[in-house]
Amino acid sequence: MISKRAAAFGAVVIILVTAFFSSFLTFEVSKFLDIQSGDRFIVKREVYELLKKYEMLEQVRQVIERDYIEEPDWDELFVGAVKGMTEALDDPYTTYFTPEEYKNFIIQTQGSYAGIGLLVSVDEEDNNISVLKAFKDSPAARAGILQGDKIVKVEDTDVDGSKLEIAVRMMRGEPGTTVTITVLRGEELIDFTLERAIIEIPDMDYKMIDEDIGYINLYQFDEKSPKNFRDAIKELSDQNMKGLILDLRGNPGGLLDACTAIADMLLPEGLIVYSENRQHKREEYHSSKEQLGLPLVVLVNEYSASASEVLAGAIQDYGVGTIIGKTTYGKGLVQGLRGPFDDGSAMKITTSKYFTPKGRDIHGEGIVPDIEVEISQEAIEFMTENPNDELPVELDNQLQRAIDELRKKLQ
């Protein structure tokens, strides 16, 4: 038990904190109180220490209110205080969304938005914002932005991995408006001024690439992906598909539920993936008995991340398909959404790590392919010179190797 003096100080702190948060968010003081005696409260020491930190925040607020040269925008300051807390975690995947940012984030998972048509992620080796894909026919693709370009500036704002959400927000906007971004390509800085447009986000393309080989290029995992994948399998099967190539190159991930639903179609009954939080609490995702049962080859590269690594890792662990390409990105962290809160804001927060069915830790390691194949220089040159065109099958040496391996399985 703390002293009466400390308890009295704790009561003062509570009053200050309550006054501070009354204009910011609902602060449920009753959760922190153990004993009330008149106008004094006795609280646990850890609560007392926490309240002292809140008191410091209130002291800073008072100094700003009293002494700052201009009238402060308290809404911006409070948002900045909350964002500062998440940014101090030094985790680019944990972020606080204002109500408007949260709406935009949800739109991204639903198939369309207004922007320039880029999929981006944080390159953990250099903490830059890396382009994973420029969507076909998008402003970014038409301008010649390439996979692997690093976005280092949006308008006049320097950006890196710690400012991922800021950069994404700045690149979006009303259709018809423009935004200038600077990318680092090798040693060269290149400016692009792009006109924003409505971007319809495709989740996949599929076709027959030989008389009996089906091909599905899965761009990301969104709400539509499981149904679209099932429809693609049916249509390809109706065209005499005997084996499948699943292309996850450049797939940055997406919704875990969508990933596990697709995995359920490809895997035998069993564990697909599990996650563990810091308390080592384990959450498992399982597949049913239903299985496609066709020979399978999966293409991956260094831009295949997160949920795409979950799918590739499970396929590899069960031995139901051959993984071809380059070692994947190595993002094995699970993010959860918290909120929306009372004001419509929300948080995306890293909660746990992914592990493959055999217990492999994806994060920082990636999925090593069964057969490693570098993309050819000829293919790179074609993509550089024709950024808005699909790489022809005959120039795609990784895809050609996948066809060869699938042919062996079909013999």
CA atoms of 40 and 101, how far apart (whole Å)? 41
The residues that bridge with 300 in the sheet, in sequence order, are: 325
The answer to whether residue 275 is domain-embedded is yes
Q: Based on the domain organization, do 313 and 278 belong to the same domain?
A: yes
Q: Identify whether the C-beta of residue 397 lies closer than 8 Å to the C-beta of residue 403.
A: no
User: Chain-wide mean pLDDT for the chain?
Assistant: 86
The three-point CA angle 86-88-91 to 5° equals 70
Q: Is 397 exposed, middle or buried (0-12, 13-18, 19+ CB in 10 A)?
A: middle
Q: Based on the domain organization, do 221 and 360 belong to the same domain?
A: yes
212-239 as b/e: b if 16+ CB within 10 A: ebbbbbbbbbbebbbebbeebbeebeee
The answer to whether residue 95 is domain-embedded is no
The catalytic residues are 306, 317, 331
Q: Find the range with the poorest average confidence among 88-92, 102-106, 163-167, 216-220.
A: 102-106
Of 158, 180, 199, the last residue of a domain is: 199
Give the model's pLDDT for residue 16: 38
369-388 tens-digit pLDDT:
999 999 999 998 888 777 66
Q: Based on the domain organization, do 250 and 382 belong to the same domain?
A: yes
195-232 tens-digit pLDDT:
999 887 778 899 999 889 999 999 989 888 999 999 99
The answer to whether residue 357 is domain-embedded is yes
155-197 tens-digit pLDDT:
999 999 888 878 988 998 889 999 999 999 999 999 999 999 9
The answer to whether residue 96 is domain-embedded is no
Dihedral angle, C-alpha 185, 189, 190, 195, nearest 10 °? 100
Q: Based on the domain organization, do 122 and 44 belong to the same domain?
A: no
Of 175, 199, 223, the last residue of a domain is: 199
The answer to whether residue 103 is domain-embedded is no
The answer to whether residue 398 is domain-embedded is yes
Give the model's pLDDT for residue 121: 81
Range of the structural domain that residue 192 is part of: 112-199
Give me the CATH number covering residue 209.
Answer: 3.90.226.10
Q: Based on the domain organization, do 187 and 214 belong to the same domain?
A: no
pLDDT > 90? residue 147: no
Of 53, 72, 91, the last residue of a domain is: 72
Contacts of residue 280, defined as CB under 8 A and 6 or more positions apart, other chains included, come to none
Q: Based on the domain organization, do 190 and 209 belong to the same domain?
A: no
Half-sphere exposure of 143 (CA within 13 A, CB side): 23
Q: Based on the domain organization, do 239 and 371 belong to the same domain?
A: yes
Q: Based on the domain organization, do 188 and 42 belong to the same domain?
A: no
Q: What is the largest CA-CA distance in the chain?
A: 86
Give me the CATH number covering residue 136.
Answer: 2.30.42.10
Element (H, E) at 405: helix 397-410
Q: Find the range with the poorest average confidence among 27-36, 114-123, 239-248, 321-330.
A: 27-36
The answer to whether residue 84 is domain-embedded is no
Q: Based on the domain organization, do 327 and 395 belong to the same domain?
A: yes
The answer to whether residue 160 is domain-embedded is yes
295-310 tens-digit pLDDT:
999 999 999 999 999 9
Q: Based on the domain organization, do 171 and 275 belong to the same domain?
A: no
Q: Based on the domain organization, do 211 and 348 belong to the same domain?
A: yes
Q: Based on the domain organization, do 350 and 206 belong to the same domain?
A: yes
Give the model's pLDDT for residue 2: 39
The structural domain count of the chain equals: 3
CA atoms of 271 and 318, how far apart (whole Å)? 10
